[in-house]
A and B are shown apart, each in its own frame.
Chain A
Amino acid sequence: MKAKKTYLILIASTFFAICSMVLLFIFSEDIIHHQNNFVRRFPNEVSKVHQIDLRFNSYYLAGTAANKIYLGNYTAPLLITVIDTALNTKQEFNADLSNMDFPFQSVQVRVAPPNFYVVDGTVPIIFKGKIKDWKATVKWHGSVLFSRFELIDSLTIACRSIKNPSGESVLGTLYFGNPAVLNLNFELLQKQIDGIFDVDGTLQYDPVLERLVYVYLYRNQFIVADKKLNLDYRGKTIDTVHRAQIKVAYLANRHEKKLAAPPLIVNKISAVYKNLLFVNSGLPGRYEDDKMWKEASIIDVYDLNNKSYISSFYVYDINNKKLKSFFVRDNHFYGFIGQYLVDYKFTNLITDSYSLKKTQ
């Protein structure tokens, strides 16, 4: 076997191996790219005002009041950061819990002055305290597990819990005063495939409209309900995916349920302010520039009062990091991008749509 032949075969094998992987990659990029039958409108109504470097990418919104923004942190669960709405000053506080002896797994804080709350739906437990000294004591320690929750008032949360025995998700409210009362509405979340993965979504509550809004992750629908979980209506987002495109597998020997293929994410994350619903969509529409899709995230705006789509705008990535979560206050849009919190200002088009008129 001559040396030359050996080298030739080695080079040919390398070439063939690399080519086959690259081909596989090109074919499956298709799964990620879905062009849908919808068109967006971009009347250009936001402009970036300011940004603040939080130095870590693990912050989330815990609450707002007057001209203050309260942030929680996923990796430092008891750290509460207070920023002014102009994103200039930053103060840090540490919450003090009366009793740390619980199997915490998913701790989140919420601030609604003069109170603040430390909640873990996996224990499940709710601590309550005053923001003047950031000390909290156990307010409720029950047995109903929940993921996703939002404060409705000082003693009530809306939450996503699980049905017994199927384990499927269900929306409910928990009054954690004394005695605690749990209300579940099994009709709100509608199962399409498995009842857990396919109904995944984000939960929001707006105190002005007094409405709960749940936006599905994998389908073009959102649910609007009142504080008592009565269904107002089911809204539709402008894309065309009405059935969750996910594949769920059950592994009997491991007792695990998993997503068996990359899911098609339709609505990534949402926020509600007054009568407007903001949705960060995962799908490019028709006639949109592919390049924009790689450099920015898109937010679609809907009016919950007259059930209409208003318009869309882009939020630019920073250092190749995409928008992770966001919230809206007055005519400002705040977004968490990487370790930054950015502030975009709306022009009249959006603020004019604000209306305190509730749906009848």
Chain B
Amino acid sequence: MKLKNNIKCVIIELISLLYILLFVYAAVSKLIDFENFQVQLGQSPLLSAFAGPIAWIVPIVEIVISGLLIFPKARLIGLFGAFSLMVMFTAYIIIILNFSSYIPCSCGGILEKMSWKTHMVFNIIFIMLAVAAILLIQKNNDKNEVL
């Protein structure tokens, strides 16, 4: 029982770590080349009207979520936040690919080199990881309550 519990904890921590890695990398690479990121957002058919504020909000939210994921007590909130953010990113890709009149470039360091379709698969995998971690934490909490 204890082993199973340990494995669950390890998985939760691993997933959180992966997310921290992803979001910190994405946020920092946006902030380093900030002017360019703002321009790229401006070119997006969905976001150009809001490029100014969104250019700041996205990296800051990514860093805040990473912060929440570090502390076990705040992890659940962090994972819900990460989940929501990934769903938003994925919805953005789906809308751009299917409903907009043209397709702008993608942005964010290494991720820039991925094609839109690859990016979508990547996002869906991360969404599933977040859901898995959330469910694992919830199961653990349930167990603790029963005890």
Which residues of A are at the interface with B, using a C-beta cutoff of 8 A?
1-3, 6, 9-10, 13-14, 16-18, 20-22, 24-25, 27-28, 31-32, 247, 249, 251-254, 256, 258-262
Given contacts A13-B84, A24-B46, A32-B45, 4 further A-B contacts (CB under 8 A): A1-B141, A25-B100, A28-B47, A247-B42
Report which residue of B39, B85, B95, B101 has the largest number of chain A beta carbons within 10 angstroms of its beta carbon. Answer: B39
Q: How large is the interface on B (under 10, 10 to 19, 20 to 34, 35 or more residues)?
A: 35 or more
Q: B76-101 vs A: 1/0 string, CB under 8 Å?
A: 10001001110110011001000111
Evaluate contact between B84 and A17: CB separation under 8 angstroms: yes
30 A-B contacts (beta carbon < 8 Å): A1-B137, A1-B138, A1-B141, A1-B142, A3-B142, A6-B135, A10-B80, A13-B87, A16-B84, A17-B87, A17-B91, A18-B91, A20-B88, A21-B91, A24-B46, A25-B46, A25-B95, A25-B99, A31-B48, A31-B49, A32-B45, A249-B35, A249-B38, A249-B39, A249-B42, A254-B36, A258-B43, A260-B38, A261-B48, A262-B43
Known A-B contacts A1-B142, A6-B134, A13-B83; the reply to A21 vs B39 at CB < 8 A is: no
Tell me, in angstroms, the Cα distance from A32 to B104 when the chains sit together: 14
Closest to B139 in A: A3
Assess whether B121 is interfacial by the CB under 8 Å rule: no
The 7 closest A-B pairs by CB, nearest first: A17-B87, A21-B91, A17-B88, A260-B42, A13-B84, A6-B138, A261-B42
Give the residues in chain B near A13, CB-CB below 8 Å. 80, 83-84, 87
Contacts of B87 in A (CB 8 A): 13-14, 17-18
Contacts of A17 in B (CB 8 A): 84-85, 87-88, 91
Interface contact B134-A258, CB-CB below 8 Å: no
**Cα of A252 to Cα of B137 in the assembled complex, Å:** 47
Contacts of B91 in A (CB 8 A): 17-18, 21-22
A260 to B43, Cβ gap below 8 A? yes
Cα A32 to Cα B44 in complex, Å, equals 12
